[in-house]
Amino acid sequence: MAEEQPAESVLRFRRFALAVCVIGVFVQLGLTAYYLGMGHRAQPHDVPVGLVSSAAERAEVAGLLTERGYFRVTDYATADDLEIAIKRRDVYGGVDITGSPPHLYVASAAGPAAANLLRTTFTTVVQQQTAATLAKLDRITIARARQLTAPPPITDVVPLPDQDVNGVSLGFLTQALALGGTVASIGLGRLIPRTRRSWRRGIAHVSTLAVYAVASGAAVIWSMGWFGVGLTADRGEMLAIFSLISLAITASTAGAVAVFGAPGALLGALYFTLGTVISGASILPEFLPTVGRILGVNLPTGAGVQAVRDSLYFPAAEIGGHLIVLVLYAGLGIAVVLVTNLLPHRKDTTSEVELDLAHRLEGAERREPVKLT
């Protein structure tokens, strides 16, 4: 019998190790396929751009922009109107072809990928037009040649700050919020059930989530200051947005834990592992596949990224839609936490804390010495 027990332990260990390896491989395969599927060949789809042109030139230029499905063109009367639209983030940039040479307007703060795509497309079209013009001329003056071959004018209406030259800060901040919120939700999910279900426990749970959300937002803003990111932004507005993002993540995860138990914490893990990829921080929504684009902007991570980007760089932009998404996640999670704490539960007549206290008292009574009279 003594020899059979170690053999059985070894067999169990081997089964467990095999299961862990198999699960790990499948998780890795799934994540690899997901990450590569979303980002390995990011192709633009209907990137919104503006066009200032005469009626005669409009059809040709708009056709060049839309022939591959890369751009969605909106017409503007003047270059000033185009700049206003860029600052509102209605479009990522645009071109004014009413002058000679044409003038390109971009906003690198809206996303370097879109700005680079616009620059590349614009430069290519201008070079093609220049080559066609030169081919028609037998003779040309030096001044005219210089004019035709001069680099086309490009204006960055909303440039990225020097402290964030690659525009990757938003992605890092979102990952930190998602990971921190997941850890906090898991911790509260293990702590809160140690007390009896009641409205007081629900209020305490929600209050803790709110306090953590504000502290989390303050920590993000503080750390941003270390690297000079967001120094010109409205600190009060940024604190409110970051706190709402954190609350949307933690409250929705806490609601899932309240309903499904420990497995509900996977929701927070999904925000971190899957949601940050399609949040629009590193890969713009217009460069994602359709499923990723739609899902991404409707997750707390995606809505949060768009709200933060607009608040940081595009104060004239409308962020109401993104805030509604965050409020819905936070509100639904809070409602679930409150409701589950008000519902009766057969196994919840005595809490773990009360059981632990009862056991301690019982043990103390047994150890108490008997007095002889």
Most confident of the ranges 37-46, 160-169, 312-321 = 312-321
With contact defined as beta carbons under 8 Å apart, do 268 and 253 qualify?
yes
Identify the sign of the CA torsion 73, 74, 78, 83: negative
List of domains in the chain: 47-159 (3.40.1710), 163-356 (no CATH)
**In terms of Cα–Cα distance, which of 103, 106, 240, 105 is closest to 167?**
106
Nearest one of 37, 47, 51 to 71, comparing CA atoms: 47
Render pLDDT for 342-355 as a digit per residue (tens, 0 to 9): 775 544 444 444 44
Distance in Å from the first CA to the final CA of the chain: 53
Mean pLDDT of the chain: 80
* Residue of higher predicted confidence among 25 and 128: 25
pLDDT tens, position by position, 26-76: 878 887 887 788 877 778 889 999 999 888 888 888 888 888 888 999 999
CB atoms within 10 A of CB 117: 22
The alpha-helical segments, DSSP class H, found in 67-198 are 79-87, 112-136, 142-149, 169-191
Q: Per-residue DSSP letters for 44-91? A: --SEEEEEE--HHHHHHHHHHHHTTS-EEEEE-SSHHHHHHHHHTTSS
Residue 323 corresponds to which amino acid? Answer: L
Q: What is the pLDDT of residue 353?
A: 42
The region of weakest confidence among 137-141, 208-212, 247-251 is 137-141
175 by Cβ neighbours in 10 Å (0-12 / 13-18 / 19+) ranks as buried
* Band of pLDDT at residue 135, cut at 50, 70 and 90: low
Q: What is the pLDDT of residue 178?
A: 80
In this predicted structure, the answer to whether residue 131 has a pLDDT above a threshold of 80 is no
Shortest CA distance to 241 belongs to which of 192, 149, 306, 168? 306
Task: State residue 298's pLDDT score.
Answer: 94
Cβ of 234: how many Cβ atoms within 10 Å?
Answer: 13
Identify which of 165, 47, 170, 159 has the alpha carbon closest to the alpha carbon of residue 108.
159
Paired tokens of 8: 């059985």
Buried b (16+ CB within 10 A) or exposed e, 119-149: bebbeebbeeebeeeeeeeeeeeeeeeeebe
Predicted confidence band of residue 373 (pLDDT cuts 50, 70, 90): very low
Mean pLDDT of 78-96: 94
Pick the residue with more confidence: 358 or 123? 123
Q: What average pLDDT does range 333-360 have in this prediction?
A: 62
Separation between Cα atoms, residue 157 and residue 93, nearest integer Å: 8
Inform me whether the pLDDT recorded for 22 exceeds 50: yes
* 351, 195 Cβ separation under 8 angstroms: yes
